[in-house]
Amino acid sequence: MAEIVIVGAGPAGIAAAEVLVAQDQRVTLLDEAAQAGGQGYRRPSPSLAIDMAGLMGSEAGKYAGLHARFERLRPQLDYRPGTLVWAMDGDRLHVLTGGRAGTVRFDMLMLATGAMDRIAPLPGWTLPGVFTLGGAQVVLKDQGCLIGRRVAFLGSSPLLTLAAKQYRAMGGEVVVIADTTPLYAKIATSPALLRAPRTLLRGLAYTAQAMIAGTPLLNGVKPIAVEGTERVEALVLRDASGRERRFACDAVALGYGLKPETQLADLAGAEFAYDRDFRLFLPKADAFGRVRRGLYLAGDGARIGGADAAEASGALAAHAVLADLGLQQDIAAIRPLARRVQRLRDFQRGLARAFAWPSRQIGALPDETVLCRCERVTVGEVRGAMTKGLGPVEVNRVKAMTRCGMGRCQGRVCGPALQEVVAAAAGHDVEAGGRLRGQAPVKPIALVAAEETP
Amino acid sequence: MFRVAKRDGARVTLTLDGEPIGATAGDSVLAALLSHGPILRRLEFGGEPRAGFCLMGACQDCWVWSEAGGRIRACTTPVAEGMRLFTEAQVQARG
Amino acid sequence: MTAATTDVAIVGGGLIGAWTAFFLARRGQRVTLIEKGVVGAQSSGVNFGNLRLQGRYPAQYPLSLRSQALWEDLEALIGEDCEFARTGHLYLAYDKEESEKLEGYAKVSDSYGLQIERVGPAELRKRWPWLGERAVAATFSERDATANPRLATPAIARAALAQGVEIREETRVSDVARQGEGFLLTMADGSQLSCGALVNSAGAWALEIAERFGETAPLFPAGPPQFVTEPVPYQIEPSIQAIDGSVIFRQIPRGNIILAGYPRTAADPVSNRAPVPPAKTLAAMRALARVAPGLAHCHVIRVWSGIEAYLPDMIPVIGPSLTQPGLFHAFGFCGHGFQIGPGVGLCLSEMILDGGTPTPLDAFSIGRFRAEATVSEKFRKEFD
């Protein structure tokens, strides 16, 4: 029987495993986290008394449902939590479990590696107290902690209002919700959003609630800086009217939509293409998530679509696996799934257009802004390297010259912003500057991990 | 970081730069340390303060030093009794 | 279309090509440097960065020493230091047989005037306390150095540019033909260039030119597995090499430890990829933890390799073509071209302008591959 390995136990990985197990396939599910669910449906850590139903709001049913389904599925899987896939070699995944290196062989590999926040840097963003928007939600679900008592939400994302609502419900003070996209730009793209009206209504409801709660809700802002010496003291920005405003706070949540975690797809040899709506290089796959026979991508790790799309795309990719194994196909089930994935992803595409990634603002960041947190490389250092004779105009080359993207996170955080800074300095399109190529290890691994067990 | 949910569990004590910090089994090292003070570590390049960023194991900005000379990623590591952690490397460079 | 003209065309914008261009232009030559990608992107840019003097191939010492003097003068020569640092180099032996081999190397180095210190086990631990217990003997050569290969070739090319060299990046040569006393190069875009002399420094791609003129060498591409760790407090000053070939590493003042390991891996110059098998990364991690046990908890953050050109006798081809006057080869540096790069560039400029160089280079003639090739012991050890 074929060895089917799924990486990532979020909605996509779980839904895929469900379809495969129902067809009596043997499935190994590897997940870096200690508990299944992924980031969006993150479970509280053991013994934490937190009202998840209240926190998840309208998604509470789905959240509970996914975890219940996983519990039923679990005995039928080779489920390995706490397992990091750090490299690939042919038909072998190199993994790290409990600090030890090992390998897992596969015939069919599905990558459901999820996403993280996409970040636009601003001066002061490395100060303690500035966190990602997704992280601000994860630490609440997982640890029952707010990132601060007085929190500013900055970025361009419908999740700003959602997270702000959760924070307010849990007793946090929301000092401002500041979105870099002007309101008219959002409205102009709203026809695309009407394709998933339920989600749209939910977004509008959060916005209305924020307004009722008296939180300043600003559109079309230009971030200036996070101020503070040893920690966040204030967020300073220019509002749409051009007025500079200072919001005293002890934490800032930053989020400009999500970016897929594509490192493993890269190591597996997937091709990437530039997507103008998301302004990201994304791995190429067919409508089922098939990169080639034996390699499949599902969930937000393939295309940002949200939890519902992740589930549907996981199931869809599982059907592609079954088809490629020559097993009987339930055509009746596939068509609605494919339509559902398409519809939800189209909606996210609309969102990506509405809540625009602020390319121009990033290209124009002041020189002293830190771009690469890991190696502490500034925007000015990148521009300086590029304007020298024979200066690089391609991102990997810029990385080689400046160390931007060369540190512990391997460009996960700074990559999208680096692309914009390079494109602006070179005067060319982002696509022409290329993308940071992935290299193993996907995350840092200690030398001791390589020790052979006696 | 500001706690809004109770946790039942064994009390554990860890230290950061020698200062004792109380936590509850199940806490992440990050949540335990940041509930106590704003800083997790000093950056290797210039010493600026850092406190992590992504909170989900991706950005690699919350690696704190542990007594054994190694580092642990604070956001994905649960607390354990007696952990001795540091904001900076304890190994003395040879003069 | 009329062809542009130049005195010397150099094909291959790696370290060798850049230095050759620099030295030629300094003596008033019109030089065009042609690079299929960008300068210093291949083995010149991804190598370990070692400027090692001890343990070199004996016939290479005159070249090597001349080259080191140029590296030591780098900032004065080109206006950038490229993180050059005189760190010293420590060779480690793990048993008696290896110590004898080390002593053999040291005698050769001594005879060329290098100061090679013999270090016994007790002193080893005292001077470099982070070393593990395995080493039984070592030699330390204080003149050996390191530099940052990612920065070096572009900096040298910039200096060449300032001397008037024309640098054509992203330019592929599609044909080379004899034209009178010189050569006519045709580029993939159809443009042409006439030159008096031609330098073939195209690295792993050099055979395409040599074979056009009836010369060959058993060149093959490969890459060493390399990795870098997160930054840890700076304490390891010299670069360290185990003579058994298992590991070579150094720490940069920022704190990161850079490692190269063996065996090397086959690379593919067509797809331009040199993937590192994870098993080799793991083996190199174990080797590093054995040599410096204090690093055991340090994390590897990035692995890479690059495409280097090798020859079975593990020494390069440097010198004039034996079939075409005016053509000069410099390729197949077998993973040790970084140190001798400036020397090779200087010698080539002398060959072209003076008809010869005072540095003895006969051992590196392409003519040696007319006879049966010898296979180096090093070759057997360093590849799978």
- For residue range A76-132, what is the model confidence (pLDDT) as tens digits? 999 999 999 999 999 999 999 999 999 999 999 999 999 999 999 999 999 999 999
Least Cα distance to A101 among A90, A78, A85 occurs for: A85
Please tell me which of the candidates B5, B30, B49 has its beta carbon nearest to residue A49: B5
The answer, for B10 touching chain A at a CB cutoff of 8 Å, is no
Take residue C193 and report the two structure tokens written for it.
């260039």
Instruction: Annotate A309-349 with DSSP letters as a single string.
Output: HHHHHHHHHHHHHHHHTT----HHHHHHHHHHHHHHHHHHH
Q: Which chains touch A (3 or more CB pairs under 8 A)?
A: B, C
Give the strand pairing for C226-229 and C239-242: unpaired
Interface contacts B/C by beta carbons within 8 Å = 29
Please tell me which of the candidates A128, A129, A374 has its beta carbon nearest to residue B60: A374
Place of tokens 């397992």: A83
A167: nearest CA partner in chain B: B4
The answer, for B3 touching chain A at a CB cutoff of 8 Å, is yes
Q: Which of A390, A398, A403 to mutate to test the interface with C (most CBs of C within 10 A)?
A: A390
Place of tokens 């996409």: A118
List, for residues C99-111, the tens digit of each pLDDT value.
Answer: 999 999 999 999 9
pLDDT at C268: 75
Residues facing residue A155 across a β-bridge: A179, A255
Q: How far is C241 from chain A (nearest CA, A)?
A: 18
pLDDT of B94 over the 60 cut: no
pLDDT category at C263 given cuts 50, 70, 90 is confident
- Domains in chain C with CATH codes: 4-49+150-218+311-382 (3.50.50.60), 87-143+221-310 (3.30.9.10)
Determine the Cα–Cα distance for residues A450 and C279; give it in Å rounded to an integer.
9
Q: Which residues of C touch B (CB under 8 A)?
A: 129, 230-235, 254-255, 294, 296-299
List, for residues A380-418, the tens digit of each pLDDT value.
Answer: 999 999 999 899 999 999 999 999 999 999 999 999 999
pLDDT at C383: 72
pLDDT at C376: 73
Rg (CA), chain B: 13
pLDDT at B91: 64
C230·A450 Cβ contact <8 A: no
Place of tokens 């060299």: C165
Residues facing residue B65 across a β-bridge: B71, B86
pLDDT of C305 over the 90 cut: no
Is the interface score ipTM higher than 0.85?
yes
HEC per residue, chain B: CEECCEECCCEEEEEECCEEEEEECCCEHHHHHHHHCCCCEECCCCCCEECCCCCCCCCCCCEEEECCCCEEEHHHCECCCCCEEECCCCCCCCC
Please tell me which of the candidates A389, A440, A445 has its beta carbon nearest to residue C158: A389
Find all residues with CB under 8 Å of B45, minimum gap 6, and list them. Answer: A375, A376, C231, C254
Determine the Cα–Cα distance for residues B64 and B54; give it in Å rounded to an integer.
15
For residues C353-378, average pLDDT: 86
pLDDT at C313: 94
B7·A48 Cβ contact <8 A: yes
A447·C276 Cβ contact <8 A: no
Determine the Cα–Cα distance for residues C117 and A179; give it in Å rounded to an integer.
65
pLDDT at C134: 85
Please tell me which of the candidates B45, B68, B94 has its beta carbon nearest to residue C235: B94
pLDDT of C332 over the 90 cut: yes
Least Cα distance to C227 among C43, C48, C45, C83 occurs for: C48
Better pLDDT: A195 or A160? A160
| Phi–psi pair at C17, nearest 5 degrees | -60, -40
What's the N-to-C CA distance of chain A in angstroms?
32
Q: How many CB atoms lie within 10 A of CB C290?
A: 18
pLDDT at A192: 63
Determine the Cα–Cα distance for residues A8 and A118; give it in Å rounded to an integer.
20
Mean pLDDT of chain C: 93
**H helical segments located in chain C:** 15-26, 43-46, 61-72, 74-78, 96-111, 121-127, 149-162, 207-212, 278-291, 337-354, 377-382
Judge contact between A218 and A240, C-beta under 8 A: yes
A390·C278 Cβ contact <8 A: no
State which amino acid sits at residue A329.
Q
For residues A61-89, average pLDDT: 96
The pTM score is: 0.94
Least Cα distance to C328 among C308, C312, C346 occurs for: C346
A146·B5 Cβ contact <8 A: no
What's the order of all strands across the beta sheet hosting A130-132? A130-132, A251-255, A150-155, A173-179, A217-219
Q: How far is B23 from chain A (nearest CA, A)?
A: 12
C129·B94 Cβ contact <8 A: yes
C254: nearest CA partner in chain A: A375
pLDDT at B95: 32
The answer, for B87 touching chain A at a CB cutoff of 8 Å, is no
pLDDT at B93: 40
Residues facing residue C327 across a β-bridge: C198
B positions 11-50 inside 8 Å of A (CB): 24-28, 30-31, 34-35, 38-40, 43, 45-46, 48-50
Mean pLDDT of chain A: 93
For residues B5-21, average pLDDT: 95
**Poorest-confidence range of A54-58, C74-78, C156-160, C162-166?**
A54-58
Q: Which of C131, C232, C285, C302 to mutate to test the interface with B (most CBs of B within 10 A)?
A: C232
Place of tokens 């709506």: A277
C130: nearest CA partner in chain B: B94
Determine the Cα–Cα distance for residues A362 and A358; give it in Å rounded to an integer.
6
